């Protein structure tokens, strides 16, 4: 593999006790596109950050064009020819400067041109760079006035000014429309032709089909699959990513009888097919799909955070169209959001305050909180869900991640729900806590409709009576848990074959 642009072997990285990378081997060849896939927390971003100099690895080696590569920091990695375009586009551009200044930013930084900026020369050189990249924007336009796609192009073009050997694109299409994405792919083709080694990180199957020559899949901090024989086996890749180790699932199927939540012709996203679905009383339905499949969007709409483009929602036959979370909570539709750190935990509060936060009225006498009631209700719930703590007065920060998550879920079990929405309830939770939470959700499911939004198939199989697969903002398949056809499920998640691109002759 001496002709490899970048060779990574045995890369290790831990944060505290958390082993994020457990010996990763990846090779990137010049003039080819390698797609990196992996679910949340698989270690993709840590790997990228180690390569681009953001983290120092704890173990393993990297070689760049045959020479040892151990970047001290981001600037060092860039100067050696490893350039990264991050997911958040505005990290890659300076919105208040014009296009020419953005393209030439590195020249401004390295200071070779002396103290004064010669705008005319700057613009001339920037135009040259833009022409090479097939970019046609006015050099004097402020970047903040450009559409997202152009900004993305400029971020990439800026990276190309440094003539990189390795280019890492992290979810580059996540905020682009289809036509905008097509322009990006043309650009990628051109760079490939110039001999750049590209590492492309994405969840979008359509993107992957369009650009991938090789697929590398990560799971739990290690490489779980490499696919480089054509035609690429996308379904195998998705399986490698999501895993399907069959746990001894012990679900007594409940289908329920009374329809509780009814969605009719609900359109959640521009251009997506409408959704029609019924969830019955006592049923636990899991929604699975890749990132960007529309799961979170559906959860947001049901919880009043955003609004559908069309269609009708009904609860118990009554029209339901919440304008805010407050209204949804008022109608007993509860959402436990994903990413508890940013969306759910109140870091300054103790367990009792955190748990009772939505229902403080219920533990108050008039406007005054009754600490006694609050502690009683919290204490009961702590016992039922099995939260490990010394007292309900403990700060939430003293709990482990799994116990914090239990508090966040328990928060919504304090009062009876009509519809309970759980977005990634097992995020950052160990297997024991996951079982506890799942058992409790199933045990209390009677009297409500429970919708669980998940990326991992294993988790869905553990908790759901029914698994609904989403893709491109709509429902593409339904599977009953006790009669699961795993291959069909994975095929649904992967999505229908996109148009062949002619990339792989």
Residues of the shown chain interacting with another protein in the complex, contacts defined by CB under 8 A: 303, 305, 324-326, 328-330, 335, 337, 342-349, 353, 357-358, 360-361, 363-364, 367-369, 395, 397-398, 411
Listed in sequence order, the residues at least 6 apart from 112 whose beta carbon sits closer than 8 Å to its beta carbon are none
**Residue 302 Cβ vs another protein, minimum distance, rounded to whole Å:** 13
Within 10 angstroms of residue 172's Cβ, the number of other Cβ atoms is 27
Classified as helix, coil or strand, 176 is coil
Contact 440, 462 (CB under 8 A): no
Nearer CB in complex with another protein: 160/399 = 399
**Residue 277 Cβ vs another protein, minimum distance, rounded to whole Å:** 23
Ramachandran sector of residue 90 (left: φ over 0; alpha: ψ -120 to 50; beta: rest) = alpha
Nearest C-alpha neighbor of 403 from the set 427, 379, 386, 380: 386
- Residue 411 to residues 70, 355, 370, Cα–Cα distance (Å): 46, 4, 17
**Residue 286 Cβ vs another protein, minimum distance, rounded to whole Å:** 21
Q: Residue 187 half-sphere exposure, CB side, CA atoms within 13 Å?
A: 29
Contact 159, 105 (CB under 8 A): no
Nearer CB in complex with another protein: 6/409 = 409
How big is the CA angle at 214 (ends 210 and 217), to the nearest 5 degrees? 105
For residue 500, give the H/E element and its range: none
**Residue 431 Cβ vs another protein, minimum distance, rounded to whole Å:** 23
Nearer CB in complex with another protein: 189/415 = 415
Nearer CB in complex with another protein: 132/326 = 326
Nearer CB in complex with another protein: 185/349 = 349
Nearer CB in complex with another protein: 271/348 = 348
Listed in sequence order, the residues at least 6 apart from 504 whose beta carbon sits closer than 8 Å to its beta carbon are 213, 230, 231, 232
Nearer CB in complex with another protein: 119/326 = 326
**Residue 348 Cβ vs another protein, minimum distance, rounded to whole Å:** 4
Nearer CB in complex with another protein: 101/303 = 303
Within 10 angstroms of residue 372's Cβ, the number of other Cβ atoms is 10
Burial class (CB in 10 A: 0-12, 13-18, 19+), 127: middle
Q: Where are the alpha helices (DSSP H) in 254-338?
A: 295-302, 325-330
**Residue 162, phi then psi, degrees to nearest 5:** -85, 5
Contact 106, 83 (CB under 8 A): no
**Residue 346 Cβ vs another protein, minimum distance, rounded to whole Å:** 5
Nearer CB in complex with another protein: 205/301 = 301
**Residue 401 Cβ vs another protein, minimum distance, rounded to whole Å:** 13
CA–CA distance, 499 with 143 (Å, rounded to integer): 33
Nearest C-alpha neighbor of 417 from the set 358, 346, 343: 358
**Residue 362 Cβ vs another protein, minimum distance, rounded to whole Å:** 9
Nearer CB in complex with another protein: 317/341 = 341
**Residue 377 Cβ vs another protein, minimum distance, rounded to whole Å:** 14
- Residue 235 to residues 205, 357, 385, Cα–Cα distance (Å): 10, 43, 37
Q: Where are the alpha helices (DSSP H) in 386-456?
A: 401-411, 431-443
**Residue 120 Cβ vs another protein, minimum distance, rounded to whole Å:** 34
Contact 477, 468 (CB under 8 A): yes
**Residue 390 Cβ vs another protein, minimum distance, rounded to whole Å:** 11
CA–CA distance, 422 with 449 (Å, rounded to integer): 11
User: What tokens does 120 get?
Assistant: 């005319």
**Residue 336 Cβ vs another protein, minimum distance, rounded to whole Å:** 9
Contact 193, 31 (CB under 8 A): yes
CA–CA distance, 371 with 362 (Å, rounded to integer): 12
Nearer CB in complex with another protein: 174/354 = 354
Nearer CB in complex with another protein: 88/324 = 324
């Amino acid at each position: 593999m001496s002709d490899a642009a970048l060779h990574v072997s045995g890369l290790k990285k831990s944060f505290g006790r958390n082993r994020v990378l457990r010996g990763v081997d990846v090779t990137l060849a010049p003039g080819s596109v390698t797609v990196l896939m992996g679910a949340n927390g698989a270690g993709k971003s840590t790997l990228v950050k180690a390569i681009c100099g953001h983290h120092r690895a704890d173990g393993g080696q990297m070689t760049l064009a045959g020479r040892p590569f151990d970047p001290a920091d981001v600037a060092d990695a860039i100067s050696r020819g490893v350039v990264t375009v991050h997911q958040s586009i505005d990290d890659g551009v300076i919105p208040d400067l014009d296009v020419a200044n953005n393209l030439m930013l590195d020249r401004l930084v390295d200071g070779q041109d002396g103290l004064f900026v010669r705008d005319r020369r700057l613009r001339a050189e920037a135009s040259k760079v833009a022409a090479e990249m097939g970019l046609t924007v006015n050099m004097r336009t402020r970047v903040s006035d450009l559409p997202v796609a152009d900004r993305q192009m400029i971020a990439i073009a800026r990276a190309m000014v440094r003539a990189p050997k390795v280019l890492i694109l992290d979810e580059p299409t996540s905020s682009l429309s289809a036509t905008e994405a097509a322009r990006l792919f043309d650009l990628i083709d051109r760079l490939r032709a110039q001999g750049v080694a590209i590492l492309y990180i994405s969840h979008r199957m359509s993107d992957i089909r369009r650009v991938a020559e090789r697929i590398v899949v990560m799971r739990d901090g290690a490489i779980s699959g490499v696919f480089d024989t054509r035609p690429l086996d996308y379904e195998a890749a998705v399986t490698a990513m999501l895993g399907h180790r069959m746990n001894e699932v012990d679900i007594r199927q409940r289908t329920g009888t009374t329809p509780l939540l009814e969605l009719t012709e609900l359109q959640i996203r521009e251009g997506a097919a409408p959704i029609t679905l019924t969830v019955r009383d006592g049923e636990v339905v899991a929604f699975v799909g890749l990132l960007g499949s529309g799961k979170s969007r559906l959860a947001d709409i049901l919880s009043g955070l955003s609004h559908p483009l069309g269609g009708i929602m009904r609860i118990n036959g009554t029209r339901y169209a919440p304008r805010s979370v407050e209204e949804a909570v008022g109608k007993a539709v509860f959402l436990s959001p994903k990413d508890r750190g940013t969306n759910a935990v109140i870091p300054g509060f103790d367990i009792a305050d955190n748990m009772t936060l939505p229902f403080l009225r219920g533990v108050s006498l008039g406007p005054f909180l009754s600490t006694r009631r609050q502690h009683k209700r919290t204490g009961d719930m702590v016992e039922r869900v099995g939260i490990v703590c010394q007292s309900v007065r403990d700060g939430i920060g003293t709990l482990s991640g799994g116990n914090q998550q239990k508090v966040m879920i328990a928060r919504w079990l304090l009062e009876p729900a009509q519809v309970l929405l759980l977005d990634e309830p097992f995020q950052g939770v160990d297997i024991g806590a996951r079982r506890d939470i799942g058992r409790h959700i199933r045990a209390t499911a009677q009297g409500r409709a429970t919708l669980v939004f998940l990326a991992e198939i294993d988790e869905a199989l553990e908790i759901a009576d029914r698994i609904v697969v989403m893709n491109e903002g709509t429902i593409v398949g339904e599977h009953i848990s006790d009669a699961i056809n795993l291959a069909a499920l994975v095929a649904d998640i992967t999505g229908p074959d996109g148009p062949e691109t002619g990339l792989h002759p």
